[in-house]
Amino acid sequence: MTPAETRAESSPEADAATGSASAPVTGSAPAAVGDGTANRRSGTANGRNGAANGRNGAAHGRLAPATLDTGTDPAPAEAAAPAAAVGAPAEATVAAAPVVDTVPVVDTVPVADTVPVADTVPVADTAPVADTAPVTDAAPAGSRRPRRWSRRRQDLTVAGFFLLAALWVTSQIWVDPAGRVASLYSSDPAQVQFFLAHSVRVVLHGEFPFFTEQFNYPDGVNLMANTAILALGIPMVPVTLLFGPAVTFVVLVTLGLAGTATAWYLVLSRHVVRSPLAAVVGGWFCGFSPAMLSHANWHPNIISQFLLPFIVWRVLVITRSRRPWRDGALLALMVTVQAFINEEILLFTALACGVFLLAVLAQRPALWSAAWRPLAKALVACTVLAGALLAYPLYVQFAGPMAYHGLSDAVQDYGNDIAAFFAPGSPTLGGNQRANVNLAPNYSEENAFFGWSLVLIAVGIVVWLRRELLVRALAVTGVFFAVLSLGERVSWWDRQLVIGPWEWLVRLPLLDAVVPTRFGLITAVVIGMLLALAIERSRTLPVERRTLRTLTVAGLVLALLPIAPMPLKVTSRPPVPDFITADRWRGYVGPEQTLVPIPVPSMGNTHGMRWAAATNLDFKIPGGYFLAPRNGNTGDPGRFGGRPSGVGQLLEEVATTGRIPKLDDRQRRRSLDELRHWRAAILVLPVRQHNAEPLRRTVEQLAGPGRQELDVWVWDVRALTDQSA
């Protein structure tokens, strides 16, 4: 829906609600400024039932987000200029490019279902409206299909480009998904692969999806309180069954990057900007920012943000919706799916939308009178439906077995160093992993790292477009969350300066489980949108076209080249033993018994979790890497791992140091008690395990001599742990 058509459908009541008056637009059809009621009834080109702009959306029909006014503050001479829909810069400018370049959005709310936005203020003051292309009548029916296919080809080309970029980033892992993992830390990928195997059991065996005893036996793990990614794992079950969880993991990382970039491109190109280049650049940065590349090492649940652009768009649309109950229900469905991908990212999205809307309303309080009713109705519908769908899963998460409240202080204090905003990320062209060591909590939490040039360009964009309400609201949102991402202690090059505002928020419900450095992900999205807006607005600058292209390319190179994505660095990891893949373990382990990998699985040693995942969790293991209440007491603050294990800590120390302890009778009795508690059937030590010989000799002090079977040492301890004997 074009801005002219938006004015044609506006009513006196809508104009009064926004406190603005309709004004003629030079170069647009007079009917667009006339009696809106007459146009609606007559079915003219600008009316609701017009052939080109109707509910089905022809080539000229561009969906107006019809959200909040994001125009600029007009200069005195521009006070009577036309207005635009808030939240959609492309719609706000009457016609920066011919309307025929746009196509309708499918799977969106029809234009007739939203309340038109009355004329308010112009978005751009860079070029007079008279210089823009006029709004024309609909194109002949025969020309609609080529234009539609042209847009589809463009979309497919962009999506293919993003997919190739994601394959480039993950190329080193694709060489050997089972034998390679992102460098420095392999625990998170092993955990994700375990969760993917759990999804297989949910589908094939009807296993309870929100809790499992397949690791940390017999206490089990609350999967709702961990990132079990059921919304990703269940659709990927065929891939996991055919190729294994290691392949599924790298598929999810690849599609997470490409899908997020594509989703932002689609929303930007339909509802924010007209320029394809602007939408591509904005989508590119939202999908391949240094923060996203950092999380691509280990966290497919965090980088799979392809629903977020549509959630944000729907939140803004419902502020002017004529069907708020239906729109709230649609929003609830997306919220529910996102909750089973990553709840923390969903919380960030809600907080970002809230801060953005508050920033808009603080500058334009009059908008509240028209927005609060549909917004309230839609949020009620969303809360009721999403609450009903998520009630039981959330009950399990917060009150079920092995539920925890809050995280350890170490995680809560994960914050960005101020210097991190000015350094390029490690997995980028200009990145330096060693130089960034003290600027981020770890390699996968580089949630800032924009580089000097991009920071300066982002500030310059805000200064240049400061008259636009949308830009000001985005700037407030980005800065707000950048400050929160600094954590409880604000530091500069690892030197503490002052107490951060997160100190006063960290103990609030829900926020006590948030990793503050990840607020930088919101700032990254804001910068991506600012880049898109800057490219869009540059089209109206009074500069010769060739010069404009040169300046645009130079600016993009300066901003994005230092942080261009590079292939993730990888390291090798030991293969799953043949003893496991050949099913030799099945002759020892019963349904209610465990296979105990040596060393016992923990946060720092997750190879045993990979063994279990390779069999789709057909055997149980003790220990593992997960979040659980301290000491296994439901309701306590969370920590990594389950109850402290004496034998687990003993074997982990031997694996690390290579020193063989001499065990007394008391230590042996306590270790055997733990094995009985785990209902251990066999202990399994890979022959090629680091410090395998010291580990073998230590285990022999506990369980006697073992025997080599294929590529592992095996200790059959069923006679020692059988509680019925």
Whether the CB-CB separation of 698 and 712 falls below 8 Å is answered with: no
Whether the CB-CB separation of 198 and 621 falls below 8 Å is answered with: no
**Residue 341: which of 302, 291, 382, 387 has the closest Cα?**
302
**Cα 271 to Cα 453: distance, rounded to the nearest angstrom:** 28
Interacting residues of 681 by C-beta distance below 8 A, sequence separation 6+: 588, 589, 590, 593, 594, 595, 716, 717, 718, 721
H-helix or E-strand spanning residue 458: helix 452-464
pLDDT of residue 725: 52
Kind of pairing, strands 680-686 and 594-597?
A: parallel
**Cα 575 to Cα 273: distance, rounded to the nearest angstrom:** 49
Provide the whole-model pTM.
Answer: 0.80
Interacting residues of 587 by C-beta distance below 8 A, sequence separation 6+: none
What does the radius of gyration of the chain's CA atoms come to, in whole angstroms? Answer: 29
Specify which residues 181 forms β-bridges with.
571
pLDDT of residue 145: 61
Interacting residues of 504 by C-beta distance below 8 A, sequence separation 6+: none
Reduced to 3 states (helix: H, G, I; strand: E, B; else coil), residue 639 is: strand
pLDDT of residue 29: 37
Q: Which residues of the chain have pLDDT under 70?
A: 1-149, 184-185, 408-410, 412, 724-725
Specify which residues 629 forms β-bridges with.
638
Interacting residues of 474 by C-beta distance below 8 A, sequence separation 6+: 356, 526, 529, 530, 533
Whether the CB-CB separation of 516 and 412 falls below 8 Å is answered with: yes
**CA–CA–CA angle 16, 20, 21 (5° rounding):** 95
pLDDT of residue 140: 52
Kind of pairing, strands 489-492 and 570-572?
A: unpaired
Interacting residues of 713 by C-beta distance below 8 A, sequence separation 6+: 598, 684, 685, 686, 687, 692, 696, 699, 706, 707
pLDDT of residue 552: 86
pLDDT of residue 56: 40
Whether the CB-CB separation of 7 and 20 falls below 8 Å is answered with: no
**Cα 59 to Cα 489: distance, rounded to the nearest angstrom:** 53
pLDDT of residue 510: 87
Question: At 625, phi and psi to the nearest 5?
Answer: -115, 115
196 to 156, 239, 471, 669, 684: CA distances (angstroms):
29, 10, 41, 37, 23
Whether the CB-CB separation of 61 and 53 falls below 8 Å is answered with: yes
**Residue 3: which of 151, 104, 135 has the closest Cα?**
135
Q: What is the pLDDT of residues 580-617, one digit of tens each?
A: 999 999 999 999 999 999 999 999 899 999 999 999 99
Interacting residues of 692 by C-beta distance below 8 A, sequence separation 6+: 685, 686, 713
Alpha helices per DSSP H over 206-306: 230-233, 237-243, 245-271, 276-288, 290-295, 300-303
**Cα 136 to Cα 169: distance, rounded to the nearest angstrom:** 44
Whether the CB-CB separation of 252 and 304 falls below 8 Å is answered with: yes
